[in-house]
Amino acid sequence: MSQEILSLSLSSARDALRIGDIGAVELTEAYIAAVETLRSLNAFITETPELALEMAKASEARLAANEGGAMEGIPIGMKDLFCTEDVLTTAASHILDGFLPTYESTVSANLWNAGAVMLGKTNLDEFAMGSSNMTSHYGSVENPWRTSEEDNKKYVPGGSSGGSASIVAAHGAIAATGTDTGGSIRQPAAFCGIVGMKPTYGRCSRWGVIAFASSLDQAGPLTRTVRDAAIMLGAMAGHDPKDSTSMNLPVPDYEASLSGDLKGMRIGVPKEYRIDGTPADIEALWDEGVDWLKSAGAEVVEISLPHTKYALPAYYIVAPAEASSNLARYDGVRFGLRVDGNNLQEMYENTRSAGFGEEVQRRVMIGSYVLSAGYYDAYYLKAQKVRTRIADDFRQAWDKVDAILTPTTPSAAFAQGEKMDDPIAMYLNDVLTVPASMAGLPAISVPSGLSKDNLPLGLHVIGKPFDEATVLKVGQVIENAAGFTAKPQTIAGG
Amino acid sequence: MALDQEMVRRIATLARIKVPEENLAPLAGELNNIIGWIEQLSEVDTDGVKPMTSVVETVAPQREDVVTDGSAPEKVLKNAPQAETYFYTVPKVIE
């Protein structure tokens, strides 16, 4: 039974809980046991089994009284970037040692109000800066996938939401939250063979989410199916007066939008996303994706997004600049680590030198440089102008198409340790996801096939602002056509 | 605009990060690689283009200028590495 229970998608588990086929406590107990068997993945920084059981018992009571919410009794992982009241919150950084928030982030509170059960806080790249989950102070996360049973290499789960992606793929959580600044939900989802959705900037509140780059950060779900993503996004989203960039718009019933019918819809394929050196298997999958959408009734047209190649370098000005400002608060005074010095200045410098890892230091320094007197116009202002042009490219595309199809990543997962000595090679992981981030657009990664080495690959659908419903609908058509049923080598109950 | 060791030292001070002397040269190399790669943005014609200030087309919401929160000094200080009687404490700053 345990294996069967762990294989249920969020929507199936929800339905089974509602009709009483399974109990909320039974489901949570199965996941607590699964999490224990999956510890080698290092997907959690903090496990909260006692809290999970307590929440599951409350869910059981609400379900019995027919008062269950949209996520009632569903055990999930919470990325350790969301502040959770009285539960250790680290951002995978040494500098937040022992931080116990006195408040709950809006997104996590929304999920608990919808009945979700917290299994623990998932691992990530330090302050969400990374594409491999190798920069966590709490150690790297392993991808549950390998090329074969005989392959003894360890692969990265992607990042920064690597712990969330790994644990959902390995059936150690039904779903998990992520945050996406330049691809941090979509790239790990692609690498781990699951669904990952970044909604429009402003759809989910950023209040209580530890800030990386405030004009880019968005929370979203990592799930096993597109339907699950629709359900979970609906529970996470909504206006929050505590985040002035959160939009006061109604949240549609996303699940109801999954009609499977693309008749009359136009889908764009941007020619600039055909990058030199893209592996043949990814090109082939993309072509297959086009055929799937045509079969569902969509018209597929080639479009041009001329500033695509400048999105990533512009991102590496904007994101570090905002990070250097946001991370100024870690000064050894208000929370976390303090390393003493002979004076205040030394205390700051010692604390930040010991508390931040290499990649975080690198980005804070780049940010400080591009914002410093004499360089601001040449770098930061220039990047914000390029960003306007990137957003304009998309705006023009929306005159011709309703959604855009691309691959999610330029490669499948790579082995741990690769690309570590070359920051730019690591940054290039996000070359296909960053443009949508720069324009604040909703986008989903759907597992669509296997690479020539048998590792998962994702297709990526980008939509118009606040049109998550279309993104999900197109995503589900791809999911159904792809029929992706392959499972990772490491899987609970498997 | 190549970064030399002196520039890296200046940035490190601005960022309040202690960088050991022997790390300045390798760090200058790394940062130069990244900045050099970013320089390709100069190819983009941005004459007359407004810098993006808000990713979503909207006006900033307004609210009454009233206190909505507060009177929770214990909560505010709960995570402080050092605090005394409702104050954060830091090394002496006045000689």
Cβ(A311)–Cβ(A438) below 8 Å: yes
The 3-state DSSP class for residue A357 equals coil
- Contacting residues of A for B38, CB less than 8 Å apart: 313, 316-317, 379
pLDDT in the model for residue A3: 63
Q: Please tell me the total number of residues recorded for chain B in this structure.
A: 95
Instruction: Give the nearest partner residue to A383 out of B41, B72, B79, using CB atoms.
Output: B41
- Buried b / exposed e over A278-297, threshold 16 CB at 10 Å, is bbebbeebbebbbebbeebe
**Is 60 exceeded by the pLDDT of residue B1?**
no
Is residue A2 pLDDT above 70, yes or no?
no
Q: What pLDDT is recorded for position A310?
A: 97
Cα distance between residue A356 and residue B52, in whole Å: 30
Of A247, A310, A388, the CB nearest to B49: A388
- Whether the full predicted model's pTM is greater than 0.90, yes or no, is yes
Q: What is the Cα–Cα distance from A354 to A58, expressed in whole angstroms?
A: 42
Within A241-292, strands assigned E span 266-270
The amino acid present at A283, given as its one-letter code, is E
Residues in Cβ contact with B6 at an 8 Å cutoff, skipping those fewer than 6 apart = none
Structure confidence at residue A275 (pLDDT): 84
Partners of A349 on chain B (C-beta within 8 Å) are: 16-18
Mean local confidence (pLDDT), A180-198: 98
Q: Tell me the Cα Rg of chain A.
A: 21
Report, as an integer, the average pLDDT of A223-247. Answer: 97
Distance of CA A153 to the CA centre of its chain: 24
> Above pLDDT 90, what percent of chain A?
95
**Mean predicted lDDT score pLDDT of chain A:** 97
CATH architecture of A1-494: Alpha-Beta Complex (3.90)
Active-site residue (options: A11, A59, A79, A161): A79
Q: Would you call B18 and A352 a contact, using CB atoms and an 8 Å cutoff?
A: yes
Structure-token match 């779900």, residue found: A221
Least confident of A60-69, A89-98, B48-57: B48-57
Q: What is the pLDDT of residues A248-273, one digit of tens each?
A: 999 999 999 999 999 999 999 999 99
H or E element, residue B11: helix B5-14
Look at residues A276, A305, A267 and name the one whose alpha carbon lies nearest to residue A460: A267
In tens, the pLDDT along A101-157 reads: 999 999 999 999 999 999 999 999 999 999 999 999 999 999 999 999 999 999 999
CA-based nearest distance A450→chain B, Å: 32
Query: What mean pLDDT do residues A234-245 have?
Result: 96
Q: Rounded distance, CA A43 to CA A34, Å?
A: 12
pLDDT in tens, A471-480: 999 999 999 9
Asked if residue A410 has pLDDT above 60, the reply is yes
Percent of chain B at pLDDT exceeding 90: 76
**How many C-beta atoms surround the C-beta of residue B26 within 10 A?**
10
The CA distance from A259 to A256, in Å, is: 7
The β-bridge partners of A299 are A266
Q: Which residues of B touch A103 (CB under 8 A)?
A: 75
Q: What residues of chain B lie within 8 A of the CB of A384, using their CB?
A: 51-53
Higher pLDDT: B70 or A481? It is A481
Q: Looking at the complex, does the CB of residue A439 fall below 8 Å from at least one CB of chain B?
A: yes
Among B4, B5, B11, the residue to mutate for chain A (most A Cβ within 10 A) = B11
- A257 or B60: which carries more pLDDT confidence? A257
Contact by Cβ (8 Å): A262, A299:
no
Judged by CB atoms closer than 8 Å, whether chains meet at B90 and A333 is answered as yes
Q: Is residue A304 pLDDT above 80, yes or no?
A: yes
Alpha carbon of A85: minimum distance to chain B alpha carbons (Å) = 11
The residue ranges of every structural domain in chain A are 1-494
Nearest residue of B to residue A313 by CA position?
B38
How far is the C-alpha of A110 from the C-alpha of B87, rounded, in Å? 33
Q: What is the predicted pLDDT for the residue at B90?
A: 93
A290-299 average pLDDT score: 97
The answer to whether A444 touches A460, Cβ cutoff 8 Å, is: yes
Between chain A and chain B, the number of residue pairs with CB atoms below 8 A apart is 168
Decide if A12 is catalytic: no
Question: Distance between CA atoms of A268 and A414, rounded to whole angstroms?
Answer: 29
Who contacts A347 (Cβ-Cβ below 8 Å, separation ≥6)?
A332, A338, A339, A340, A341, B90, B91
For chain B, what is the mean pLDDT?
92
Rounded mean pLDDT, A3-9: 91
Q: Which of residues 78-107 of A touch B (CB under 8 A)?
A: 98-103
Among residues A137, A124, A95, the alpha carbon closest in space to that of A330 is found at A95
From B79, B88, B92, residue closest to A99, measured CB to CB: B79
Query: Residues A155-186: pLDDT tens digits?
Result: 999 999 999 999 999 999 999 999 999 999 99
The token duo for B65 is 């200028």
* Assembly ipTM: 0.96
Catalytic residue among A93, A184, A411, A437: A184
Q: Do residues A261 and A226 make contact, with C-beta atoms less than 8 angstroms apart?
A: no
| Closest to A213 (Cα-Cα) out of A204, A201, A222, A221 | A201
Quick check: A333 and B91 CB within 8 A?
no
